[in-house]
Amino acid sequence: MKDQKIQVALLGLGTVGAGVYKVLESQKKEMLPKLGTEVELKKILVRNLQKAAAKVNDPSVLTDDWQEIITDGEIDIVIEVMGGMEPARTYILEALNAGKNVITANKDLIAVDGKSLMDAAKSAGKDFFFEASVAGGIPIIRPLKQSLEANHISEIVGIVNGTTNFILTKMTEENMEFADALKLAQDLGYAEADPTADVEGLDAARKLAILASIAFHSRVSFEDVYAEGISRITSRDIQYADEMGCRIKLLAVARNTEDGIEVNVHPMLINRRHPLASVNDSFNAVFVKGDAVGETMFYGRGAGELPTASAIVGDLFDTVKNIRYQCTGHVNCTCYKTLPIKKAGDKVSRYYIRLQVEDRLGVLAAVASVLGNNNVSIEQCIQKHKAGDLAEIVVITETVLERNFNDSLQILKTMSMIKEVSAVTRVY
Amino acid sequence: MKDQKIQVALLGLGTVGAGVYKVLESQKKEMLPKLGTEVELKKILVRNLQKAAAKVNDPSVLTDDWQEIITDGEIDIVIEVMGGMEPARTYILEALNAGKNVITANKDLIAVDGKSLMDAAKSAGKDFFFEASVAGGIPIIRPLKQSLEANHISEIVGIVNGTTNFILTKMTEENMEFADALKLAQDLGYAEADPTADVEGLDAARKLAILASIAFHSRVSFEDVYAEGISRITSRDIQYADEMGCRIKLLAVARNTEDGIEVNVHPMLINRRHPLASVNDSFNAVFVKGDAVGETMFYGRGAGELPTASAIVGDLFDTVKNIRYQCTGHVNCTCYKTLPIKKAGDKVSRYYIRLQVEDRLGVLAAVASVLGNNNVSIEQCIQKHKAGDLAEIVVITETVLERNFNDSLQILKTMSMIKEVSAVTRVY
């Protein structure tokens, strides 16, 4: 058992890095009884030494030279919170190859390059943990890899992007339109100046790739995930959803079907009684279905300085214990299967569509017949008269083949009595 | 690294034991890639060999002789799912002392005697895991001990008894009275013939003792927990709660305050928007507040054959990996503090009271003045006329000292204008 102090380097001192620093400070007195050893933050890699000095008690821990860290044989653990692909990827590989354990929050990297990093950790016999890369502070990766390991997991459904969940909550509760809710999220610091990665579902797609890989024991990459954002959702659709007993959420859905893995991120109507429907504001949640456990859900803060640091320092404490007991390097890549990824046309879904149509007899029948001819059954339907000669038709379909639905949609778009297909959204 | 097959004994083949058997069968093909070794269920201890034979593929694994298991040097892991205090306690201690790792679902035992069992495991250098003892299939003990370990946890609030949650859900959604909902629960097999342990909050109190001990790093025993059941809740109170924006739930609440630990199980009004308020039917959930992670919640099935087995076999797989890597015995008792348990009179709470009073001027003022004189502030109040000369007053107080509230209650009970104190319930 290793009793001497364990030394750590932190790469990056932005929002998350500062959070890690604070949590380590607040846990200082607890470390010896919790871990049986002390943990020292020996070096922090920053770009601007002067700017960073204000954030730490003792600026002598700061360095802008990666070589100072990688060549320091006393440093056992490197925490990477710089984000982005490079130089994060190179630093992580160099650290593992130098015999250091690595903890990261870098979803971009893991979703694309997770396998090569885990392989490097395995060869080195070192820990490589990334709990913070999905759903921030919510424990989800460790529960999937350990607590729920006796399950065949058939489905994961996540609300894993706080920005879009905040926007949809405001649109639902305060009848705001998308652009106004986005502006509010930006003003409050929940959304970035360029909100594309959040709003178009790319951030959620990265997290879903990581979750699906772990849950199904088969590699799923970012490029395998079909991603659609929320920018076309209107408060009108949210109101119709409400009339039909549903909320609209950006859901990241992974399914392990007999014909392969389905991984999709898109806005979906979800029944108000489902536990995910009441996950509001910037909260995240991950819903997991397993053959033994049944339905289970993990809920909490998916981002932010301290919640993300909670996950990172949790990983750190685990690594410290593993170093003490000489057990590092035992949680490796768990993708021992190679399952196919399902193609879009083979997928099935329920759909919500909203149409502007001529306000006259026979239109609803014509719409129903186009759907029926393409094997698309209707589950619920609302028709409302509008000002002028227009009516609005809203349909929720039964579960249908995506291919069949798209065929019927193409036909609807060519019909003169249909003035506009105003919305097409999937239903969970 | 140990590559040979790992052999396991199961003590008990009731509902949970049969679940463990089924999950092991369904995971048979996955074990080698997941664990790097095979796991064999070598012996199952049962009382009635003949009755048990129908439940297994090969009855030769059955035995009614504990000595056959404890003296078998090839058995590395014992899973105890007999329940109750004895002989479970003796068997677990004997197994640990004989150098076997132990997994149990036995909350009765852990809540009373957890420390001595964990000490025995530590001396033996063996794993002793009990994830299934709280909230069935929901991963909560491991997340508290690992993922959330970088937090100072200030509060745990659980819906940890499925029977009472089912009863309260039926009372809420179908306006049933307690006795009818209990009868339905018994008919459906959710409640036992003698429902005392569930209905009076004792089962929840045991689980809360275990959760609080882990979360606050200080031993809390079953006898430290104040427990009150749901048998006095009426559908009328549930309706008033609804008018005031609340649900009524049996909440197990543990708080780590500056003056000591508070551990209480009682029915409580909880705001409809709180994530726990929409945990319905026999589902369980545990809500955790930490200084870094913020608010987080774990939701799922708290009981049942397969959910409970999911947690047990999850523990088993962990132990198997620890045996292979010679890392058993590292997750020990985490109670390194000795915090006082707060006395009832020192506690604070919000209260809901419902009174039958004379229907005349001045009564509400008199009630308000008794409360006010005892430093009990009113937050919400409803007065309704009833048939005859009676009116009903419902009050929700602000947060007050339990002692002060009880003093005012004693006075209210002596007042001739107050015919009955019909309900007193705490508010979360």
At B133-160, the pLDDT tens digits run 999 999 999 999 999 999 999 999 999 9
- Eight-state DSSP code of residue A5: P
pLDDT, residue A387, reads 81
Query: Residue A286 above 90 pLDDT?
Result: yes
In a domain, B318, yes or no: yes
Find the residue in A nearest to B334 (Cα).
A34
In a domain, B18, yes or no: yes
CB contact under 8 A, B325 and A330: yes
User: Do A186 and A297 belong to one domain?
Assistant: yes
In a domain, B249, yes or no: yes
User: Do A309 and A256 belong to one domain?
Assistant: no
**CATH number where A267 lies:** 3.30.360.10
User: Each residue of A226-240: b (16+ CB within 10 Å) or e?
Assistant: bbbbbbebebebbeb
Using omega within 30 degrees of 0 as the cis cutoff, is the peptide bond preceding B143 cis? no
pLDDT, residue B351, reads 97
Mean pLDDT, chain B, as a whole number? Answer: 95
Find the residue in A nearest to B16 (Cα).
A292
Characterize the bridge pairing of strands A75-80 and A260-271.
Answer: unpaired
pLDDT, residue A2, reads 59
User: Do A128 and A201 belong to one domain?
Assistant: no
Q: Report phi then psi at B379, rounded to 5.
A: -100, -45
Mean pLDDT, chain A, as a whole number? Answer: 95
Picking from A27, A292, A321, the nearest residue to B306 by CB comes out as A292
CB contact under 8 A, B292 and A313: yes
In a domain, B339, yes or no: no
User: Do A231 and A313 belong to one domain?
Assistant: no
B151 and A CB contact within 8 Å: yes
Closest among B168, B265, B279 to B224, alpha carbons compared = B265
- d(Cα A258, Cα A381) in Å, to the nearest integer? 32
User: Do B66 and B133 belong to one domain?
Assistant: yes
The residues with which B421 forms a beta bridge, in sequence order, are B355
Distance from CA of A271 to the nearest CA of B (A): 13
Please work out, in degrees rounded to the nearest 5, the angle formed at the alpha carbon of residue A150 by the alpha carbons of B75 and A104. Answer: 110
Query: Residue B332 above 90 pLDDT?
Result: no
Characterize the bridge pairing of strands B39-45 and B6-11.
Answer: parallel
Tokens of A115: 């396998």
Find the residue in B nearest to A326 (Cα).
B327
Asked if residues A15 and A305 have their Cβ atoms less than 8 Å apart, the reply is yes
Picking from B138, B151, B307, the nearest residue to A310 by CB comes out as B151
Reported confidence tier of residue B385, pLDDT bands at 50, 70, 90: confident
B105 and A CB contact within 8 Å: no
User: Do B154 and B291 belong to one domain?
Assistant: yes
User: Do A12 and A130 belong to one domain?
Assistant: yes
State the Rg of chain B over Cα: 24
Reported confidence tier of residue A408, pLDDT bands at 50, 70, 90: very high
- d(Cα B5, Cα A410) in Å, to the nearest integer? 59
Query: Residue B60 above 80 pLDDT?
Result: yes
Residue with tokens 């404890």: B70
- d(Cα A70, Cα A96) in Å, to the nearest integer? 10
Question: Which whole number is the average pLDDT over B234-241?
Answer: 96
In a domain, B334, yes or no: no
Q: Give chain A positions within 8 Å (CB) of B278.
A: 275, 278
Q: Give chain B positions within 8 Å (CB) of A149.
A: 34, 313-314, 317-318
Find the residue in A nearest to B284 (Cα).
A296
Q: Give chain B positions within 8 Å (CB) of A21.
A: none
The residues with which B395 forms a beta bridge, in sequence order, are B353, B381
Q: Could you say which of B170, B207, B342, B347 is catalytic?
A: B207
Question: Which whole number is the average pLDDT over A20-47?
Answer: 96
**CATH number where A14 lies:** 3.40.50.720
Q: Report phi then psi at B229, rounded to 5.
A: -95, -170
CB contact under 8 A, A297 and B300: yes
- d(Cα B255, Cα B218) in Å, to the nearest integer? 12
Kindly report, residue by residue over A188-247, the tens digit of the pLDDT: 988 888 999 999 999 999 999 999 999 999 999 999 999 999 999 999 999 999 999 999
Residue ranges of B 257-296 with Cβ closer than 8 A to chain A: 275, 278-279, 290-296
Q: Give chain A positions within 8 Å (CB) of B334.
A: 34
Closest among A74, A42, A72, A82 to A58, alpha carbons compared = A42
Picking from B142, B278, B291, the nearest residue to A147 by CB comes out as B142
Taking each helix axis as running N to C, give the angle between helix A363-373 and helix A402-414, from 0 to 180 degrees, rounded to the nearest 10: 140
User: Do A285 and A310 belong to one domain?
Assistant: no
User: Do A177 and A287 belong to one domain?
Assistant: yes
User: Do B161 and B202 belong to one domain?
Assistant: yes
Characterize the bridge pairing of strands B128-129 and B226-227.
Answer: unpaired
Q: Give chain B positions within 8 Å (CB) of A275.
A: 278-279, 299
Question: Which residues, other chains included, contact A126 with Cβ-Cβ below 8 Å and sequence gap of 6+?
Answer: A96, A99, A100, A101, A102, A328, A329
Q: Give chain A positions within 8 Å (CB) of B169.
A: none
A311 and B CB contact within 8 Å: yes
Picking from A23, A217, A292, the nearest residue to B292 by CB comes out as A23
pLDDT, residue B28, reads 96
- Minimum mean pLDDT among B116-130, B285-299, B381-395: which range? B381-395
B25 and A CB contact within 8 Å: no
The residues with which A157 forms a beta bridge, in sequence order, are A253, A287
Q: Give chain A positions within 8 Å (CB) of B131.
A: 147
Question: Which whole number is the average pLDDT over A369-398?
Answer: 93
CB contact under 8 A, A306 and B296: no
In a domain, A269, yes or no: yes
Q: How far is CA A88 from CA A9, A55, A94, A332, B420, in A?
A: 14, 22, 10, 20, 69
CB contact under 8 A, A142 and B138: no
B317 and A CB contact within 8 Å: yes
In a domain, B359, yes or no: yes
Residue ranges of A 320-349 with Cβ closer than 8 A to chain B: 321, 325, 327, 330, 334, 336-337
* Sign of the C-alpha dihedral computed for residues A54, A56, A58 and A60 taken in this order: negative
Query: Residue A336 above 90 pLDDT?
Result: yes
Picking from B293, B299, B317, the nearest residue to A307 by CB comes out as B293
**Alpha helical stretches, state H, A174-304:** 178-187, 196-199, 202-216, 235-243
Q: Give chain A positions within 8 Å (CB) of B23.
A: 150, 292
Q: Could you say which of A43, A207, A249, A289 is catalytic?
A: A207
In a domain, B125, yes or no: yes
Residues in chain B: 428
Q: Which of B266, B291, B324 is the last residue of a domain?
A: B324
User: Do A280 and A313 belong to one domain?
Assistant: no
The residues with which B79 forms a beta bridge, in sequence order, are B10, B103
pTM of the predicted model as reported, rounded to 2 decimal places: 0.95
Q: Give chain A positions within 8 Å (CB) of B148.
A: 139, 310, 314
pLDDT, residue B2, reads 59
Kindly report, residue by residue over B64-107, the tens digit of the pLDDT: 999 999 999 999 999 999 999 999 999 999 999 999 999 999 99
- d(Cα A212, Cα A134) in Å, to the nearest integer? 11
The residues with which A8 forms a beta bridge, in sequence order, are A41, A77
Reported confidence tier of residue A1, pLDDT bands at 50, 70, 90: low
Give the range of the structural domain holding residue B90, as residue numbers without chain letter: 6-137+305-324
Find the residue in A nearest to B129 (Cα).
A147
Question: Which residues, other chains included, contact A108 with Cβ-Cβ below 8 Å and sequence gap of 6+?
Answer: A83, A84, A85, A206
Tokens of B286: 């545990």
Using omega within 30 degrees of 0 as the cis cutoff, is the peptide bond preceding A87 cis? yes
Picking from B291, B294, B310, the nearest residue to A151 by CB comes out as B310
Q: Give chain A positions within 8 Å (CB) of B298.
A: 296-299
Reported confidence tier of residue B1, pLDDT bands at 50, 70, 90: low
Q: Is A207 noted as a catalytic residue in this protein? A: yes
B229 and A CB contact within 8 Å: no
Using omega within 30 degrees of 0 as the cis cutoff, is the peptide bond preceding B87 cis? yes
Count structural domains, chain A: 3
Kindly report, residue by residue over A134-185, the tens digit of the pLDDT: 999 999 999 999 999 999 999 999 999 999 999 999 999 999 999 999 999 9
User: Do A187 and A297 belong to one domain?
Assistant: yes
- d(Cα B157, Cα B287) in Å, to the nearest integer? 5
Picking from A295, A300, A336, the nearest residue to B297 by CB comes out as A300
Kindly report, residue by residue over B196-231, the tens digit of the pLDDT: 999 999 999 999 999 999 999 999 999 999 999 999
CB contact under 8 A, B142 and A138: no
Picking from A27, A142, A321, the nearest residue to B147 by CB comes out as A142
